[in-house]
Each structure stands twice: as structure tokens, then as C-alpha cells.
A and B are shown apart, each in its own frame.
Chain A
Amino acid sequence: DGVTVLPAPQNLSVQSTNMKHLLTWSPVTVPGEIIYYFVEYQGEYESLYMSHIWIPSSWCSPTEGPECDITDDITATVPYKLRVRATLGSQTSAWSTLQHPFNRNSTTLTPPVMEVTKDGFHLVIKLEDLGPQFEFLVAYWRREPGAKEHVKVVRSRGIPVHLETMEPGAAYCVKVQTFVKAIRRHSPFSQAECVKVQGETLPL
């Protein structure tokens, strides 16, 4: 295999938000040359039972980097080892391995974007499509003292979903949080949005 001349990529780290995982590193630079990087991963099973086995990343073998979307590679809630090396023609660097294995249960969950509308007396909500990992816990209530809060689990993504049939003259408020089955965690709740029948969306 090529003579190792190139320095190995440094400062590997993973930024993960809403189950989208991005591996980044400091670029290796050779003036006037294009450096390509190869990313590989190893789940807990491989590192325990077949530590010689590394699997090429779906999208970054090779890539011009210095980043790699590893979302499609992280498909179990176990620690994953990740490594990167640089290549220039036949020259390859040593592998640089992420200091701490990455587990998707550490992803940052943000409140989802929602659009609350109404069709006549029908309260309708449309939620952003964050992918199949996500369910939405939608809490809604009638805006009056002592009103009971209702919760509905919504799995449909990106399409308007019926929430409730409203009573004339009443105002209803809605807030939503995501739930990620694979890691058993919720996001914070979104801001509440209120809608009044026969009226426009009310500010809080």
C-alpha cells in the first residue's frame, strides 16, 4: 500500500442534531493538490467480535471532505468507532480515530417546527419531516382557566393532520415535542401557538 507521507487528519469530532450526524476533521493541505479522505466505521458488535473489520462509510469513501454525513451509517443505538485517513494519489496517511466512540443517544434534540391551521371548526397541524426515527407528541388545550391538556401521538410527517374539532368561539393552543424511539428521548416542547375559531392565529 502507498508510502505514508501525508499527515493524518486531526481534530475529529461529531456534531449530531435531530439524529443527523456529521463527522468533521481538520483538513490536510498540500498546496495545489486535492486531498481525498476515506471514512470507515465499526459498531460495537464489530469492535467486540471482529475488531479487524471496518466498514466504508456510505457517502465518504472517498470524499473531498473535511466532513462526512454519517447518518446512514449509524443504524443502531450502540457506540460506533470512526476513523479517517487522507490520500493523495498513491500516498495515504495513517488512520486517525475518533477519540471517543459516538453513540446516537447523545444527539441534540430541538423543538420541531409546526404549522397550526384550521379548516372551519377543525384544528389541523402540519409537522416538519424529520425522518422515520421521529414521532411527535402534540399537546393541545382549550385556552381557558383549568382547561385539560390533551396529548396525541402523530407519526405522519409533512402532511396536515387533524387534531381536534373545536367549539365555536373557543381558542385552542398547541405545542409539540419530538420523541425518538431509537434512543427513547424527547425534545423540549415548541412554543405554543393558539388559534381562535373564526379568527386568525393569536400571538401568545
Chain B
Amino acid sequence: GQEFQFGPCRVEGVVLQELWEAFRAMKDIVQAKDNITSVRLLRKEVLQNVSDTESCYLIRALLKFYLNTVFKNSLDKAADSRIRKSFSTLANNFFVIASKLQPSQEKEMFSTSESARRRFLLFQRAFQQLDIQAAQTKAFGEVDILLTWMEKFYQ
């Protein structure tokens, strides 16, 4: 069956198609609310040429950020039930993935995890430069960029 393989980290039990469908249901609504089109949080420098071993560190940091900072306060403001439903699907599946990621903590992996951390910080700093609600909306509108990158590790 299909599963995620982020370098050494394997994640089963998540159907990427469900995440795509959830995003597609809210794409136009959420992206239309993002007026700061001159800023892209998940820029190429964040996701391009990520090595397999680095990918587990990076995806874990990104998903935890989405779970703790992006989803957490947005759900109550989402009046539209289609958005709430999509939020819930994405949040619960990100929760499943994040809970199964166990990147190695060994010393020799320090440089790899540091490289992943620098990439994540590019994303986080761009997020923090915006008003929190605008940043949450933008982060949501960019879930297609995140899923496209995650799909490379879905086998």
C-alpha cells in the first residue's frame, strides 16, 4: 500500500488523496482571502533540493508548526463549514503523520538536522513578519505547495 517515506521515517495510514480533496474544497476561498501576494512563505529555498535524510526533520518541524500555530486558532474563526471540514481533515491527518515521525537524534545527524532547521526558520521568520491572522490564512493557502513537496515522498 502507499505510504510516506521521509528518508528513514516511514508513515502509513494516511491517504494523500483525502488531503488533496480537503485542500481543493477550500482552495479558492482561502487563497482569495490572502491579499499579501508579494509574500510566499514556502519559498523555493525552503523546499528545494531537500535530501532524504533531511526531509524527516523538515516535515516534522513544518507539520508541528501547522498544528500548533496555524490550525490551532484558525478553526474557530472559520465560519464556512466547508473550510471547517477541510481544516479538520488536514489537521487530523497532519496530527497522524507528525505523531509517527521519529527522526534520529544521533550526534552524527546534527548537521543534517541543522540544515533542516535553517530551512524551517526561513519559513517561520516569513510567517512571523506578518499579522498572525494574515499569516495563518497565507499558510493555509500554501498547503498545496506543502502537499506537492510531500507527494515526492509518497510511494
The interface of chain A, by Cβ under 8 A from chain B, is 41, 43-46, 49-50, 52-53, 55-56, 58, 73, 75-78, 105, 132-133, 135, 179, 181-184
Contacts and interface: CB of A to CB of B under 8 A. Distances in A.
Interface in B1-52: 1-2, 12-15, 17-18, 22
A136 to B, nearest CB: 12
A78 B97 CA distance: 11
A181 B17 CA distance: 11
A56 B81 contact: yes
Contacts of A135: 1
A159 B38 CA distance: 46
Interface stretch (B86-94, B106-114, B133-141, B144-152): B86-94
Interface residues of B, number: 25
A78 B95 contact: yes
B81 A44 contact: no
Nearest to A76: B92
Nearest to B75: A53
Interface string B34-75: 000000000000000000000000000000000100011001
16 contacts: A43-B92, A44-B92, A46-B75, A52-B76, A55-B84, A55-B88, A56-B81, A75-B18, A75-B89, A75-B92, A77-B14, A78-B96, A132-B15, A132-B17, A181-B13, A184-B12
Contacts of A45: 67, 71, 88, 91-92, 94-95
The SS class assigned to the A binding surface is loop
B91 A73 contact: no
A73 B84 CA distance: 11
B85 interface: yes
B144 to A, nearest CB: 17
B85 A73 contact: yes
Contacts of B14: 76-77, 182
A50 B92 contact: no
Given A75-B22, A182-B13, A182-B15, A53 B76 contact: yes
Contacts of A132: 15, 17
B67 A49 contact: yes
Which of A46, A133, A135, A179 has the largest number of chain B CB atoms within 10 A? A46
Contacts of B22: 75
Given A45-B71, A75-B92, 20 more contacts: A43-B92, A45-B94, A46-B75, A46-B91, A49-B71, A53-B75, A55-B85, A73-B85, A75-B18, A75-B93, A76-B93, A78-B92, A132-B15, A132-B17, A133-B15, A179-B1, A181-B2, A181-B15, A182-B13, A184-B13
